[in-house]
Amino acid sequence: MANEISLKYGCNPNQKPSRIFMKEGELPVRVLNGKPGYINFLDAFNSWQLVRELKEATGLPAAASFKHVSPAGAAVYVPLSDTLKKIYFVDDLTLSPIASAYAAARGADRMSSYGDWAALSDVCDKETAALLAREVSDGIIAPGYTAEALEILKTKRKGGYNVVQIDPDYVPAPVEHKDVFGITFEQGRNELKIDGTLLENMPTANKTLSEEAKRDLIVSLITLKYTQSNSVCYAKHGQVIGVGAGQQSRVHCTRLAGNKADNWYLRQSPKVLNLPFKPDIRRPDRDNTIDVYISDEYMDVLADGMWEQFFTEKPQPFTREERRAWLDGMTGVALGSDAFFPFGDNIERAHKSGVAFIAQPGGSIRDDNVIEACDKYGIAMAFTGIRLFHH
């Protein structure tokens, strides 16, 4: 271990010099391959904290897929159904528990995960490395790598794939600092523990949370702890299925995350699963094409004849009515918010995406309106009493 790593540049090429360093002691990371940059390390350290906490809270292997210092997806290990394996493009792979977790984390929003930074709570094995080897990704952080996994990863990106190993026993200082405009900010680290005790205050008529719902709400809340605020997160089956990050309005977060959750579920519909793709269409192009197919834009694609680039035959449109009918089958979704919901419109939007369980701080002067909206749909909501802003 060293106490300094020089970087090519900062957030942008004109921002030089650039480095990460420790004022005291050695860095808790080693670069095993590649040359990670400034944003890479921001993603690496945020994503590592997220997966470490998910593992501590659930006891399950955890993984995350980060882009620009927010998670595109995160997941703990839950066995994947055949349908999920297919939409995540891993139905031809042998998956270990940690590989399954990463497949789910990346599969939540594959378009946003293009060129991601991966994080694993456990040692990276050959199964996870094989999955990463065929995806577009910038790098990975994990507490260790098997010899086979490291050999596979070192062949990626013409040998330049970024592989970072972190000391899992590293404990950061309790006070953290950040310089902005030449001025140093100081604050205590957010060491708040997120577990089931935060879900005990339930002001709604429905006060029932299954163990699966509690797990998904904890996944959502821990994900929010490392997501740029404002943020809202939808989760199901132990994985994030939609994140709305960095929006100035909370309802915009709810809509953005809800739209991503809808896309996740629409990808599982028979109309999407049976799309007649040409065999040589790459996975990223399939992701982009599916995103267009499940939107109103597809009518323009049909009119322009662009479908011929991707399909062996012209697929029938996925109409708004058909999409709505399919989405009505999405149920049991958990939703977390990093701050209170100020209006019931957030609940109305969440209901459209199958939300049945909510965890949010509470404390709005309109809490009664939010509770009333939940009771209207039989949603069980917990007031956690804690805010999770992250900047």
Of the candidates 174, 43, 58, the one whose C-alpha atom is nearest the C-alpha of residue 119 is 43
Residues 76, 101 contacting (CB under 8 angstroms): yes
The contacts of residue 193 (CB under 8 Å, 6+ apart) are none
Average pLDDT over residues 65-78: 96
**SS3 assignment, position 275:** coil
pLDDT digit string, tens, across residues 338-389: 999 988 899 999 999 999 999 999 988 989 999 999 999 999 999 999 999 9
- Give the whole-angstrom CA distance, residue 251 versus residue 218: 21
Q: What are the CA-CA distances from residue 268 to residues 112, 162, 273, 275 (Å)? A: 18, 32, 6, 11
Name the DSSP class of 315: P
User: Rg of the Cα trace of the chain?
Assistant: 21
What pLDDT score does 322 carry?
Answer: 95
* Domain annotation covers residue 336: yes
Residue closest to 334 by CA, chosen among 228, 257, 251, 390: 257
pLDDT given for residue 226 in this prediction: 96
Residues 158 and 285 in one domain: no
Instruction: Tell me which of 140, 171, 202 is where a domain ends.
Output: 171
One of 46, 162, 230, 263 is an active-site residue; which one? 230
- The answer to whether residue 241 sits within a structural domain is yes
**Is 366 within the bounds of a domain?**
yes
pLDDT of residue 224: 97
CATH code at 38?
3.40.140.20
Residues 138 and 201 in one domain: no
Question: Does 342 lie in the same domain as 254?
Answer: yes
Determine how many CB atoms are found less than 10 A away from the CB of residue 110: 26
Among 12, 14, 158, 391, the active-site one is: 391
Please choose, from the candidates 266, 274, 294, the residue with its C-alpha nearest in 3D space to the C-alpha of residue 353: 266
CB 163 within 8 A of CB 31: yes
67 is known as an active-site residue:
yes
Q: Are residues 209 and 280 in the same domain?
A: no
Within-domain flag for 16: no
pLDDT over threshold 80, residue 73: yes
pLDDT digits (tens, 9 = 90+) for 205-248: 999 999 999 999 999 999 999 999 999 999 999 999 999 999 99
Active-site residue identified among 33, 55, 67, 156: 67
Mean pLDDT, the chain, as a whole number? 95
Q: What is the mean pLDDT of residues 262-266?
A: 97
Residues 100 and 239 in one domain: no
What is the model's pLDDT at position 303? 67
Structural domain includes residue 363? yes
- 261 and 292 assigned to the same domain: no
Residue 45 lies in a domain: yes
Quote the pLDDT of residue 306.
77
275 closest CA partner among 244, 224, 310: 310
Residue 137 lies in a domain: yes
Task: Grade residue 1 by pLDDT with cuts at 50, 70 and 90.
Answer: low
Return the pLDDT at 304: 76
Give me the domain span that covers residue 131.
28-171
Confidence tier at 198 by pLDDT (50, 70, 90): very high
Question: d(Cα 135, Cα 115) in Å, to the nearest integer?
Answer: 8
The answer to whether 230 is a known catalytic residue is yes
Total number of domains constituting the chain? 3
177 in catalytic set:
no
Q: Are residues 302 and 346 in the same domain?
A: no
Q: How far, in Å, CA of 53 to CA of 59, rounded?
A: 10
Q: Which of 68, 252, 352, 390 is catalytic?
A: 68
Mean pLDDT along residues 137-149 = 98
Residues 220 and 74 grouped into a single domain = no
Does some domain include residue 179? Answer: no
- Residues 124 and 50 occupy one common structural domain: yes
Say which amino acid occupies 24: E
* Number of neighbours of residue 317 by Cβ within 10 angstroms: 15
Q: Are 228 and 147 members of one domain?
A: no
- Asked whether the beta carbons of 255 and 232 are under 8 A apart, the reply is no
Type and span of the H or E element at 322 = helix 320-327
pLDDT tens, residue by residue, 284-298: 999 999 999 999 888
For 78-89, how does the pLDDT look when each residue is reduced to its tens digit (9 = 90+)?
A: 999 999 999 999
Mean pLDDT value of segment 15-39: 94
Helix (H) or strand (E) holding 163: strand 162-166
Residues 220 and 366 in one domain: yes
Do 128 and 200 lie in one domain? The reply is: no
